[in-house]
Amino acid sequence: MTSKQTIVVGLSGGVDSAVSAYLLKQQGHHVIGIFMKNWEDDDDTGYCSSNIDFVDAASVADVIGIDIEHVNFAADYKDRVFAEFLREYQAGRTPNPDILCNAEIKFKAFLDHAMRLGADKIATGHYARVRCVSTQPGADGQLLPVETSRLGDGRFELLKGLDPSKDQSYFLHRLTQAQLASTLFPVGELHKTEVRRIAAEIGLPNAKKKDSTGICFIGERPFREFLNRYIAHEPGPIKNDRGHIIGKHVGLSFYTLGQRQGLGIGGIREKGAQRGGGDHAPWFVARKDVKTNTLWVVQGHDHPWLLSNGLVAQDMSWAAGSAPALTDTLAFAASATAQGATTAVPASEARRLSAKTRYRQADAPCWLTAAPQPGSLTEPGDPGAIALVFDEPQWAVTPGQSAVLYDGDLCLGGGVIAVAR
């Protein structure tokens, strides 16, 4: 029998957080709901669903039989998340605000507020799992009940959600041991179909509500229109891989590597190209040169400019509590050389893992090295930076996005991609 805990659940108005609250209530816990309002610049537009979401969250709380509080974190969001989001875009990179939102708002500002209410734990509707592995003498390696485990009882591990199509550990890799020790993910053990079945069975009003796909708390408004309100943009040339100007972009901030839609150059052929040849292949954004304000595009999904054998990531965060220990791997030096590293890294400085460089991406087997070596990939100037060398070239690895490392289902942590090679 699980001992009764006070658990504050972030109710977003969606079905996942609603079922999370229900499951915890069924387990006998004292559950309190909190609706987080994190954006208020344009509440009067049709794009911000905050008011509708709160009505849904309040209706869920009524059905489940729990109290709900409306809390405004808009100032925190603007200072901790949105300001950094704009800085990265202005620098020509493509950030992922959902990752920063989780680290700074949902699992910091919200967590702090919940603790002031007397919470033992918080819970959200993320598809991920947490387990606690004892580090105590005589019980080292034993699994402890996560509901009652506290920081210091053992090592907290972030695991993928059991539903591979919904796993959200990628967005949670920046969580610390203290944050993981205070968090539960009730639906991480379930598949989405089961979550919706439970919601329908108990009569939740949002059982069939569509999943949100917009940027964290900013809604599903037209992104270019939204960004245009905050970032000065300067049009410039679009060039192909031969250096020929084939169009004009509206501002580098509005494009990301691998982008195909919205380039305004469809159907363009090189002068003199034969009709019916391969010159109608789709165009993709391949590079952004901030210094010259040039957008470089290439034709074909598998163009070499879109493929990377490795990367360097910095600003590392380790959900596991520390960087992975490196192990001797005799095959690494040959593999690294084969995959394009110009200086082989000693085998004793490598470890075999897998990584994601995009959320909707299969895990890519790779080698991890502790830091970029002079003459290899690059030197970003971060002593905690890591380099990855992939078994197979990866598509559209994008500076500003996150590279997240896994050891099987265990999410070790990750960092911001500085350079792709």
Query: What would the two tokens of residue 222 be?
Result: 């037209």
| 70 and 193, same domain (yes or no) | yes
Model pLDDT for residues 233-242, shown as the tens digit of each residue: 899 999 999 9
In a domain, 401, yes or no: yes
The total of structural domains in the chain comes to 3
Q: Catalytic: which of 101, 132, 366, 411? A: 101
Of the pLDDT bands very low, low, confident and very high (cuts 50, 70, 90), residue 275 is: low
Q: What are phi and psi of 366, to 5 degrees?
A: -155, 170
Contact between 27 and 123 under an 8 Å Cβ cutoff? The reply is no
Per the model's pLDDT, the better-predicted residue between 58 and 369 turns out to be 58
Active-site residue identified among 132, 216, 366, 411: 216
Does residue 10 form part of some domain? Answer: yes
Structure tokens that stand for 232 in this block: 């000065």
* pLDDT confidence of residue 421: 86
Quick one: 179 and 314 in the same domain?
no
What is the band of 419 on the pLDDT scale with cuts at 50, 70, 90? very high
238 and 89 in one domain? Answer: no
Active site residue 216: yes
25 and 172 co-located in one domain = yes
Does residue 126 share a domain with residue 21? yes
For residue 418, pLDDT over 60 is answered with yes
What is the number of helices (H) and of strands (E) in the chain? Answer: 10, 18
Q: Is residue 23 domain-resident?
A: yes
Per-residue pLDDT band for 295 (boundaries 50, 70, 90) equals very high
Domain edge (last residue) among 301, 318, 341? 301
Q: Which of 4-18, 248-262, 270-284 has the lowest average pLDDT?
A: 270-284
Share the mean pLDDT of the chain.
86
Integer-rounded Cα Rg, in Å, for the chain is 23
Report CA torsion sign: 357, 361, 366, 370. Answer: positive
Q: Quick one: what percent of the chain has pLDDT higher than 90? A: 65
Q: Measure the CA–CA gap between 276 and 280, rounded to whole angstroms.
A: 8
For the stretch 328-371, pLDDT in tens is 343 444 444 444 443 444 445 678 999 999 998 999 999 998 65
**208 lies in a domain?**
no
Residue 105 lies in a domain: yes
Stated pTM of the model? 0.88
Q: Does residue 238 share a domain with residue 325?
A: no
Percent of the chain at pLDDT exceeding 70: 83
Picking from 177, 201, 225, the residue at the C-terminal end of a domain is 201
Residue 17 lies in a domain: yes
Q: Is residue 94 very low, low, confident or very high in pLDDT (cuts 50, 70, 90)?
A: confident
Residue 58: is its pLDDT beyond 80? yes
Query: Is residue 210 in a domain?
Result: no
pLDDT band at 7 (very low <50, low <70, confident <90, very high): very high
* Range of the structural domain that residue 283 is part of: 233-301
Q: Which carries the bigger pLDDT value, residue 400 or residue 275?
A: 400
Same domain, 260 and 330: no
Residue 135, pLDDT > 60, answer yes
pLDDT digit string (tens) for 162-206?
999 999 999 999 999 999 999 999 999 999 999 999 999 999 999
Domain end among 301, 332, 357: 301
Tell me: do 279 and 314 sit in the same domain: no
Do 81 and 127 reside in the same domain of the chain?
A: yes
Res. 40: pLDDT tops 90: no
Q: What is the pLDDT of residue 215?
A: 63
Residue 257 placed within a domain: yes
**CATH code (residue 241):** 2.30.30.280
User: Domain holding 395: CATH number?
Assistant: 2.40.30.10
Give yes or no: residues 365 and 390 share one domain. Answer: yes
Q: Is the pLDDT of residue 214 over 90?
A: no
Residues 253 and 313 in one domain: no
The two structure tokens encoding residue 382 = 């971060």
Token representation of residue 50: 């905050």
Residues 152 and 85 in one domain: yes
Please report which confidence band the pLDDT of residue 42 belongs to, taking 50, 70 and 90 as the band edges: low
- The CATH number of residue 87's host domain is 3.40.50.620
